[in-house]
Amino acid sequence: MVPPSEDSRTPLYVVSDLHGHREQFTAVLREAGLIDDDERWTGGGARLWCLGDFTDRGPDGVGVIELVMDLAKQAEETGGRVDALLGNHEILLLGAHRYGEEEVPGEDPPKQFTAWWVLNGGRDTDAERLTDEIVEWLSTRDAVRVEDGHLLMHTDAPTYLNYGGTADEINAKIRGVLASDDLAAWWDLFRQMTARRAFHGEGDQGVRTARAVLDALGGERIVHGHSTIPDQFGVDPSTIEGPRVYCEGLALAVDGGVYQGGPCLLVKLPYTEE
Ligand SMILES: [Mn+2]
């Protein structure tokens, strides 16, 4: 029998920006004991949050989504949870699926989802395999989430606050956009989610921005993907061994840049630097 511990919370893991790299994803899940050789959930009551950008730039985006949807069902049966937050590439994929080459109203020069999706590594092999079930599941994911004092989000920017003052408001508002036929609002959401590096900044600007986001949405540390560790910190992808704490400890970057040749980082929270 396991002795009662002060912290009765179940293990919490995050992973981000899988970008179609299904093999790397299953390898780290197996290594952590969250799945077995048949890719069945063995994580029991553990929680796994995927912080967006399942598709594009890699070979098997829809394969990654299907696996996560499968694991979500299995984890639910054992008291665990596997779930995902929206990334900008989810908006791009859903937008291309829904609007194709339709021009966004009010954009000069003209913009359309499909062209931007292709430009950002969109793969026809993913578009062809999208099902109504996948579209519905992706369209109803949250954008931000607080777990055990960690503020989980995809984009390293405060643009979420343009959608509301609390996590619930933001998630409801963004879900509303994705349920709407307002192409301009969809496009704006995509653009907002492509902001980045707001927690660096000159002087204490990054720290102040991070504090404002945490004050509004809750949690003690932002955990994000989107801006890869190689890009953010100018390090060689092959040298990355773990996530990066920065912004005076207020932010944790977990995207190892798998599509740039970096590692797929499965991060157990709370993360303490060696
Ligand atoms: Mn992204």
CATH of the domain at 186: 3.60.21.10
How many angstroms does the Cα of residue 208 sit away from the middle of ligand 1?
22
Q: 194 alpha carbon to ligand 1 midpoint, in Å?
A: 6
**Distance (Å) from CA 89 to ligand 1 centroid:** 6
Tell me how far the alpha carbon of residue 159 lies from the centroid of ligand 1, in angstroms: 13
Fill in the amino acid letter for 246: Y
Structural domain for 249, as ranges: 12-269
The tens-digit pLDDT sequence of the chain (274 residues) is 444 444 568 999 999 999 999 999 999 999 999 999 999 999 999 999 999 999 999 999 999 999 999 999 999 999 999 999 999 999 999 999 999 999 999 999 999 999 999 999 999 999 999 999 999 999 999 999 999 999 999 999 999 999 999 999 999 999 999 999 999 999 999 999 999 999 997 789 999 999 999 999 999 999 999 999 999 999 999 999 999 999 999 999 999 999 999 999 999 999 987 6
Instruction: Determine which helix (DSSP H) or strand (DSSP E) holds 182, and give its type and residue range.
Output: none
CA distances from 260 to 19, 77, 151, 257, 264 (A): 11, 36, 26, 5, 11
Is 44 inside any structural domain?
A: yes
**18 C-alpha to ligand 1 centroid (Å):** 10
Asked if residue 160 is part of any domain, the answer here is yes
Q: Report the separation in Å between the CA atom of 49 and the middle of ligand 1, taken as the mean of its atom positions.
A: 15
Identify whether 190 is part of a domain: yes
Check residue 58 and give left, alpha or beta (phi > 0: left; psi -120 to 50: alpha).
Answer: beta
CB atoms within 10 A of CB 23: 13
Taking the centre of ligand 1 as the mean of its atom positions, its distance from the CA of residue 78, in whole angstroms, is 31
Is 274 part of any domain?
no
What separation in Å is there between the alpha carbon of 224 and the centre of ligand 1?
Answer: 10
How many CB atoms neighbour CB 93 within 10 A?
A: 29
**Measured in angstroms, how far is the CA atom of residue 135 from the centroid of ligand 1?**
18
Taking Cα atoms as reference points, which of 167, 164, 166 lies closest to residue 142? 167
Dist. CA 7 → ligand 1 center (Å)? 33
For tokens 């920006």, the residue is 17
- Counting the structural domains of the chain, the total is 1
Question: Is the separation of the CB atoms in 11 and 46 below 8 Å?
Answer: yes
Q: Which residues surround ligand 1, an ion (CB under 5 A)?
A: 53, 87-88, 226
The predicted model scores a pTM of 0.96
> Is 7 contained in some domain?
no
In a domain, 238, yes or no: yes
| Within-domain flag for 71 | yes
Is residue 90 situated within a structural domain?
A: yes
Residue 15, CA atoms < 13 Å, CB-side half-sphere: 25
